[in-house]
């Protein structure tokens, strides 16, 4: 693992723990030996008030590569939600391709 990536993620974790938006969650996972895995985070985003997602908590996993922060993390969600919601309008770029 890259020392640069781990150092940066440790700094970002420290800053997140001091101050982050209410209701949002971002926690590194644990390795089998119980140590923290800063390259793999479990996160959750609360649904915005006044939207169809209000009251929801949408989970995702962030996977960081060794070249972070030069490359962005990969985000995976088990939720089947498209966040570009426009009432009464189709989201054409995913129509017919969602599996």
Query: Which residues are part of the catalytic machinery?
Result: 92
User: Which residues, at least 6 apart from 51, have a Cβ–Cβ distance to it below 8 Å?
Assistant: 85
Half-sphere exposure of 18 (CA within 13 A, CB side): 6
Task: Give the integer Cα–Cα distance in Å for 53 and 32.
Answer: 34
DSSP H/E element including 60: strand 57-63
């Amino acid at each position: 693992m890259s020392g640069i990536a781990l150092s940066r993620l440790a700094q970002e974790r420290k800053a997140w723990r001091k101050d982050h938006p209410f209701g949002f969650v971002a926690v590194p996972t644990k390795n089998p030996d119980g140590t923290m895995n800063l390259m793999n985070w479990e996160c959750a985003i609360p649904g915005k008030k006044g939207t169809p997602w209000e009251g929801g908590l949408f989970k995702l996993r962030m996977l960081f590569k060794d070249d972070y922060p030069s490359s962005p993390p990969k985000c995976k969600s088990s939720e089947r939600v498209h966040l570009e919601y426009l009432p009464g309008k189709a989201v054409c770029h995913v129509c017919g391709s969602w599996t």
